Amino acid sequence: MLSVKNSVLVVIDMQEKLSRAMHDRENLVTNAVKIIHGAKVLGLPVIWTEQNPRGLGSTLPEIREHIPADSEPIIKLSFSCCAEPAFLDKLNATGRKQALVLGIESHVCVCQAILDLLDMGYETHIICDAVASRTPENKLIGIERSKQAGAIITSAEMALFELLKVAEGDKFKQILKIVK
């Protein structure tokens, strides 16, 4: 099970221009905001990337507003964020071994990052309602490939309640507002 003390959220390439081409963009953004906002409430570290921001734009404002203000994106050209030393430095600095992954595109950058994270020994969860590709087929292929490699399939709401463990307290009330 996911643990607040052992989890890190990895947000991959949730960028303006790139997101416009995604199938079911509205659900992607809605669920990504839920999990990112929830991670903030629960105190999870968030590591986020931008693929070639000069060409694909910056991170969506509705995503960015829930990421800590003092945090900067890892800029990358490689498909897997794990090929970027700055990403690995941030990831290793968390000391956590459970990676929750969301972003764009399911069958390229998300899948390649998941394969690398699994190879490095991370328990890796793909947040299926917070990943997308340009076509629904490619989204499903990316999820299936990640699953075959050992990733755990989850959703934004499922992950948040798994991290909470109990239906009580201030954090529960805040998460409830996020998912409704």
170 is catalytic: no
What is the spatial distance between Cα 166 and Cα 174, in angstroms, rounded to a whole number? Answer: 13
116 is catalytic: no
What is the spatial distance between Cα 13 and Cα 73, in angstroms, rounded to a whole number? Answer: 9
- Interhelix angle 25-42/156-164, rounded to 10 degrees, is 10
CB within 8 Å of 101: residues ≥ 6 apart? 10, 12, 110, 113, 114, 117, 124, 125, 126, 127, 131, 151
DSSP string, 93-138: HHT--EEEEEEE-IIIIIHHHHHHHHHTT-EEEEEEEEEE-SSHHH
70 is catalytic: no
For residue 107, what are the β-bridge partners?
A: none
Find the catalytic residue in 34, 76, 90, 139: 76
Find the catalytic residue in 13, 34, 90, 128: 13
Find the catalytic residue in 81, 82, 109, 128: 109
The CA R_g of the chain, rounded to the nearest whole Å, is 15
Q: What positions carry a catalytic annotation?
A: 13, 76, 109
